[in-house]
Every structure is written in structure tokens, then in C-alpha cells.
């Protein structure tokens, strides 16, 4: 098809038809994939929820290693960027050992 020979209204109609066809095919592809997933789950005696459930062990939170000496609710694990309160205490002359829990 030589698009350069089409008039603007014909191109707009073609564009609209193309967008509708793409949506229809995407819908059909999703339906097909859902059916395949259900069939695979049934083959192994599983529900779809079982297949999609997260697996593995859950990670427990990392315990804090540092605590503000005057405000014990302020803690830090030592991972990531230093919190502002840690930076301020270090700038005032404290050491990381002073903040260790």
C-alpha cells in the first residue's frame, strides 16, 4: 500500500482502523495468555493464586547499629546515606563509636 497516494481523510480513517485493530489484538493476546496460565496451573494442581504468590523467605528488617545519644528514637542501620542527625553529630566532634548501640 502506497500511503503517499492516500488523501488525509483516508489516512485518518486508516489510522483509526489500525488503532482499533491493535487494541483488539492486544485484548486477544491477553485472553490467550490468561488461558495458558490457568491450564499450566491446573496441570500442576495449583491455583492461579498459588502460581502468582511470592516465593522465598521474607527478609527481616535490619537492626539499627547507631542511636542518637540524646534522642533514642533516632536510629540508623548503617546502610545507605548517613542521616542528617549523624552528620551533625560527626561534625560536632562525635565519632561513630560514640553512636554505636
The answer to whether the CB of 97 falls within 8 A of the CB of 65 is no
Q: Which residues pair with 75 in a beta bridge?
A: 67
- Helices (H) and strands (E) in the chain — how many of each? 4, 2
pLDDT for residue 49 = 86
Residue range 48-91, pLDDT digits in tens: 888 888 777 777 889 999 999 999 999 999 999 999 999 999 99
pLDDT for residue 53 = 80
For 84, the grid coordinates are 542528617
Model confidence, pTM: 0.47
Domain locations along the chain: 7-52, 66-99
Q: Which residues pair with 100 in a beta bridge?
A: 66
Amino acid at each position: 500500500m502506497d500511503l503517499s497516494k492516500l488523501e488525509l481523510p483516508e489516512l485518518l480513517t486508516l489510522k483509526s482502523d489500525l488503532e482499533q485493530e491493535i487494541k483488539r489484538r492486544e485484548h486477544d493476546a491477553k485472553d490467550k495468555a490468561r488461558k495458558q496460565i490457568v491450564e499450566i496451573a491446573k496441570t500442576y494442581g495449583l491455583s492461579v493464586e498459588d502460581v502468582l504468590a511470592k516465593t522465598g523467605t521474607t527478609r527481616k528488617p535490619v537492626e539499627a547499629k547507631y542511636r542518637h545519644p540524646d534522642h533514642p528514637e533516632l536510629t540508623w542501620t548503617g546502610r545507605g546515606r548517613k542521616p542528617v542527625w549523624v552528620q551533625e553529630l560527626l561534625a560536632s566532634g562525635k565519632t561513630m563509636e560514640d553512636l554505636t548501640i
